[in-house]
Amino acid sequence: MRNALSRLWVALLAVFMVSPAYADDQTVNVLYAGSLVNLMERGVGPAFEKATGLHVAGYAAGSTQLANEIKGKLRRADVFISASPKADAGLMGAANGDFVQWYATFGESPLLIAYNPRSRFVPDLESKRWDLVLEEPGIRIGRTDPKLDPKGALTLDLMNRAAAAYHEPDLVARALGAPDNPEQVFPEEALIGRLQSGQLDVGFFYSTEAVTMKLRSIRLPPDLAPKATYTVTIPANADNAAGATRFVAFLLGPDGRALLQKNGLAVTSLTLTGDAAAAPAPIRAMIPVGK
């Protein structure tokens, strides 16, 4: 009986302590969109650590999923980087727990289609209209869950736009099947690996992912391709607010922005949304008044 209770206690700890709270001021706990894995792990994270001596403890997943886990108190974050302002909005206000009071928008990345260079569909991908190839028998398509990740939602948005533009009302059903088609939907952080290993022929990604991982890709028509809009905030319950402020200041500063551009992310003018007075003074100072 004692062993059974011990196992139950360990299981409960695993559920409620998925993301430990880092009490020390030398660690910054960063939750970020899965599309930024390589940029964070190989670029921004190491550069910040070298510049400040602080340690980055990062975790990547779909932005909506991360927001849900913050709201559900399954994860704590000193910094939250999202690929959609909607994820931040879902954490703002008393009804949503007041986890987020402000967020800064700093970059964009258009959706595109990347493909495995060894796929038998490469000749068609490089010669035919992109949507026609997605309907070919046997093609293996990868995308993310529209309920958990903004990229999955933008993929559906793209396909609906294409259906209207190409006068193909059943295009979405023919190419994607159901919105949550289990043969196509995978976790964001696993999608690139599946494409590179040959488990998929094509996948929907952001341009920053294609650049950082050197993926062969097809640029979609600008009037059809939606974009990720990247935001950053410091949640109200951050354990290391001082370290978080230093991280966000680095990300939005010249060194961070140079790394973002190098990795294919289109850096935009900084804008602040929400309660500007709640943002740390060093962050407010970086964003022009009225932005």
pLDDT at 3 over 50: no
Tens digit of pLDDT for each residue in 153-194? 999 999 999 999 999 999 999 999 998 999 999 998 899 999
The pLDDT-based confidence of 109 (bands split at 50, 70, 90) is very high
Spatial contact of 126 and 202, defined as CB atoms under 8 Å apart: no
Tens digit of pLDDT for each residue in 18-55? 444 445 689 999 999 999 999 999 999 999 999 999 99
Mean pLDDT of 253-265: 94
Average model confidence (pLDDT) across the chain = 91
**Any idea where the domains of the chain sit in the sequence?**
21-108+228-284, 110-227
- DSSP class per residue in 232-267: EE--TT-S-HHHHHHHHHHHHSHHHHHHHHHTT-EE
Residue 81 amino acid letter:
I
Tens digit of pLDDT for each residue in 195-221? 999 999 999 999 999 998 999 999 999
Do 21-108+228-284 and 110-227 have matching folds?
A: yes
CATH number for the segment(s) 110-227:
3.40.190.10
21-108+228-284 maps to CATH 3.40.190.10: yes
